[in-house]
Structure 1
């Protein structure tokens, strides 16, 4: 890595190299997160290094070898796609335009069907009322 990248890099507690860290402990521990680009850069640098230099890379980056082993597996499984997947619960998928259009079409068809049912029920009710009144008239005329 170049000297510019090293100067811009901070260690896990947010201190630039050469600065004196604040001795106070943070109220809440913060889990470090690494970008896919960073993971690939460190893995590639680690693999290019001689066996004796690998420990220095791990100390400089404040990493464990097991973490690099996991990153290497992730890289081999799917390169950046496997490395860039955030951990934790997946966010709920929002509605897409095509999904909304399909739902709108489904609901419109359902509404049309409900309107047909209501119209038929009204006609049936009118028919039953007509039959009922004609049957009452027929009974009255027979007596």
Structure 2
């Protein structure tokens, strides 16, 4: 091999291939950049800020929208009353009690039918009933 080819092989093997990684920005970082961009008053200072931080203008516009949405969400009125999750135990208890009431009503209906049959039987046989006895 010639020395020129040998040097090319060494260069190729010495190169490090960069693997692209998705950057993650914290909320405090986003807030700081948006505030700095809002404070920029001279033309070109926002661009300089973005270049310094290695950001795109789309980052800044998206973060501004997120900040505005968060502010609106924070200012919206919150529903009053107990939280939806807190009533689950009470709802289960109410459901159980409703089932018990339905069961007892069914038993009461049967008992009333039996009593009516007993009254009719007493009338047919001529036996005194509880209402007839003084």
Q: Which has the higher contact order (CA 8 A, sep 6+)?
A: 1
Tell me which structure has the larger Cα radius of gyration: 2
Q: TM-score, normalised by structure 2?
A: 0.49
Structure (1 or 2) with the greater helix fraction: 2
Q: TM-score, normalised by structure 1?
A: 0.47
